Structure 1
Amino acid sequence: MYQAQLVTNARQIQQIAALSAANLKSAIDDLTKKDQGFLTWEYSVDLLTAMHEIAPSIIVTYHDEVVGYALTATHEMAEVHTEMKIMLNNLSPLTYRGKSINDYRYYMMGQICIAKEHRGKGLFEQLYEHHKTVYGNQYDFLLTEVSTSNHRSLHAHKKVGFETIHTYHDHVDEWDVIIWKFGNLEI
């Protein structure tokens, strides 16, 4: 049985790092990238540990093995995650519904991944729903960036309810900035 939960131990962090490394854009072939999607940022065990000390991420386990994860990324993590700092700098001039994005309470999805053999079983939605359960009362929305060439990921995010608010190009790729509003956001 699949179980969504917060990360609680070093073994789970190691499994996240291994699953991330196996699905990096640089580690998979072009057909897999097109068909299954890909990950852009690499996460070491040390970086994941530092992030989880700030705010634990959500995982889905199957028989005590991590088969999916959705990394919580708060603003405070910019101090330990260089790419997150760049991302936040790129986001700072954005507005949403006529207000500066920085006037909202939001956090970011650092990365989401499901092990290939467990895809298509509703785990993507389960990870996000657990994020909403754990963090929804503290924030107005969850924000992430998805490569515009990662069609599978963009489709999955739209299916959950994310909306694109901006597209830009940086030193790595072209990104759609997307948000998922929580119920407490009054607009």
Structure 2
Amino acid sequence: MPVPSPIIALETAKSVQQFEQILKLQKSNHRDSLSPAQQIAEGFVYAQYNLHTLQQLSEFEAQIIATDGKKVIGYNLAISTQLVSKLPDLKSMFYAFDQTTYQGRLLRTYSYVVGGQVCVDKGYRGQGLLRRMYNEMKTLGNGRYELCVTDVSQRNTRSLQAHLNIGFVVAGTYEHDGEIWHTVVWDWKKQR
């Protein structure tokens, strides 16, 4: 297990090398790379992005990374709703979001950014990096968005609890490809 440095920086991913490190971290934490027991204990990521998609996402929103030196040890991908038509793999998620109600209004009536995927390297968990990355996302999106919306697999209880601890609330549930998903919302208008 790596020994974390005392200073872990947050920054916006810009270089191909940083995006490649995101993909490496994604692959090692993807559900297909983990046993069912590991998925329960450590959580997992579901979507598989590629370099082109990450670069495309970064044209619209800052992609937050946590770094220990030059090593990417965490990431928080943000997806603009402007990219819905360009991300066919996420079509069912966006459709579910459009049908979900939060505080008596359909999500589509709010301005929101999508939390596209978040991951922290196993050796760096438990240090508040998830919260720091989401807070950075909020800082960068404040004034442009009312909400941050994402979905979490029902099986990924570690991730769901981490999101709830940050301030997300479950706004809805849907099924896709045999997986149950919770649509979770972080209201940036509320103080937390």
* Same structural fold, with TM-score higher than 0.5 when normalized by the shorter chain: yes
Count residues with an aligned counterpart.
185
Partner secondary structure for residue 54 of structure 1:
coil
Could you tell me the percent identity over the aligned residues?
A: 28
Long gaps (5+) in structure 2: 1-6
Aligned pairs for 1:92-103 (under 5 A) are 92-103=98-109
Give the C-alpha shift of residue 118 in structure 1: 0.8
Give the C-alpha shift of residue 114 in structure 1: 0.3
Give the C-alpha shift of residue 14 in structure 1: 0.7
Aligned to 2:63: 57
Give the C-alpha shift of residue 159 in structure 1: 0.6
**Aligned equivalents of 2:61, 2:178: Cα separation in 1:** 26
Aligned to 2:4: none
Aligned to 1:15: 21
**Aligned equivalents of 2:12, 2:105: Cα separation in 1:** 32
TM-score (norm 1): 0.94
Q: RMSD of aligned C-alpha atoms?
A: 1.4
Partner secondary structure for residue 71 of structure 1:
strand
- 1:111-130 Cα offsets, whole Å, 9 max, x none, are 00001111111101111110
- 1:153-187 Cα offsets, whole Å, 9 max, x none, are 011001101000101111251001000111369xx
**Aligned equivalents of 2:145, 2:89: Cα separation in 1:** 22
Give the C-alpha shift of residue 50 in structure 1: 1.5
Pick from 44, 67, 79: which aligns with 1:38?
44
Q: Residues 92 and 176 of structure 2 are in contact (CA less than 8 Å); yes or no, is this contact kept in structure 1?
A: no
Aligned to 1:162: 168
Aligned pairs for 1:1-187 (under 5 A) are 1-171=7-177, 173-183=179-189
**Aligned equivalents of 1:30, 1:85: Cα separation in 2:** 26
Partner secondary structure for residue 157 of structure 1:
helix
**Aligned equivalents of 1:72, 1:160: Cα separation in 2:** 16
**Aligned equivalents of 1:34, 1:138: Cα separation in 2:** 35
Partner secondary structure for residue 43 of structure 1:
coil
Give the C-alpha shift of residue 58 in structure 1: 0.8
**Aligned equivalents of 1:101, 1:147: Cα separation in 2:** 19
- 1:29-62 Cα offsets, whole Å, 9 max, x none, are 1221010001111111121111112222111111
**Aligned equivalents of 2:143, 2:172: Cα separation in 1:** 25
Give the C-alpha shift of residue 80 in structure 1: 2.7
